[in-house]
Amino acid sequence: MMKENKSVIIWLLSVCFLVFVLVVVGGITRLTNSGLSMTDWHLVTDTFPPLTEAKWQETFEQYKQFPEYQKINIHNDFTLSDYKFIYFWEWFHRLIGRVLGFVFIIPFVYFLIKKKINKDTLNKCYILLGMGAFQGFLGWFMVRSGLIDNPDVSHFRLSLHLTFAFITFAYTLWVALDLIYPDRNISIIPLRNLARVALVFLLMQIIYGGFVAGLNAGLIHNHWPLMSDGQFFHESIILEKDTWFQRLTEGKSGVQFVHRTLAYFVVGFILLLAYKSHKFDLTKNQKSGINALVAIVFLQFALGVFTLLYSVPLWLGLTHQVVAFFLLTTMTYTLHRLSK
């Protein structure tokens, strides 16, 4: 690690940590059905929750005008106390997003003025700035889909919001790793290419994880390894939608089937990477990265199975998402070490 870049590295890793926290709180927000509790978007006034009981009641009355309350919660004896609970998680999620914005922008301006960022890193930081702004837009775009007619957000938009957060995290980490390891070694091309393929499948799995979450597809077919007794490919996949594209992207059974199947590919490519790596003389960091990948992917696979078998309890669903983050972190690190 170059001493002159230490403060920049700490800054970038702090941003990574806050993105991680943001995604974890976002997962809680989704699993507690809290995402549509704040029906409007105000940059300043939403910074604090309602501070008086009268303001809480006014905000609750506004919430009652929207589909989630009118089509779902009105039938569930939904009280102001219940509303305060779901409001908290969405408000907290947005608050962390604001904090993340300040944590990125204020040090960035300081480093810019002090000329502590080299040209190459500066260009990457501009990309990160654009990615952060786009992520904020995606959050609004997602929530908006659940405030018109449908009392739930679009699973496509939810997955886009989630996946782009993962990608933003991975790119931020990559920029930090470029500074932590400034020396450039000869890349191990066969392993690098295999790691790239594994990363693509992992990102596809994250996308479908968003689909499963958005459609609540983990609440059906709670069996493993088969989707039900005697069925690897459940017949309901064909019955749900008219076309295969719709069946595999919009149908609950189809989406769950793809998510199950992709898990085997992710495990398989990481195991293949580990097997192939024995043919090369690896550095300590490269070996550690690959070994960690194998351990974490098996943990994530097991968590996925138990999350399904127990019909997505909050703690298991959240743990499954957290470990997905760890898996992407390790994949990014390993690919970086194999590439540079």
Ordered by start, the domain boundaries in the chain are 1-183, 185-340
d(CA 312, CA 326): 20
In this predicted model, what pLDDT tens digit does every residue of 145-195 receive, in sequence order?
A: 888 877 888 999 999 999 999 999 999 999 999 999 987 777 899 999 999
Residue 2 binned pLDDT confidence (cut-offs 50, 70, 90): low
In this predicted model, what pLDDT tens digit does every residue of 54-90 receive, in sequence order?
A: 999 999 999 999 889 998 888 888 999 999 999 999 9
- The reply to whether the predicted model has a pTM over 0.95 is no
How confident is the model at residue 262, as a pLDDT?
A: 97
What is the torsion angle, in degrees rounded to the nearest 10, for the CA atoms of residue 57, residue 59, residue 60 and residue 66?
Answer: 150
How confident is the model at residue 234, as a pLDDT?
A: 85
Mean pLDDT of the chain: 92
Degrees (nearest 5) of the Cα angle 305, 30, 37?
160
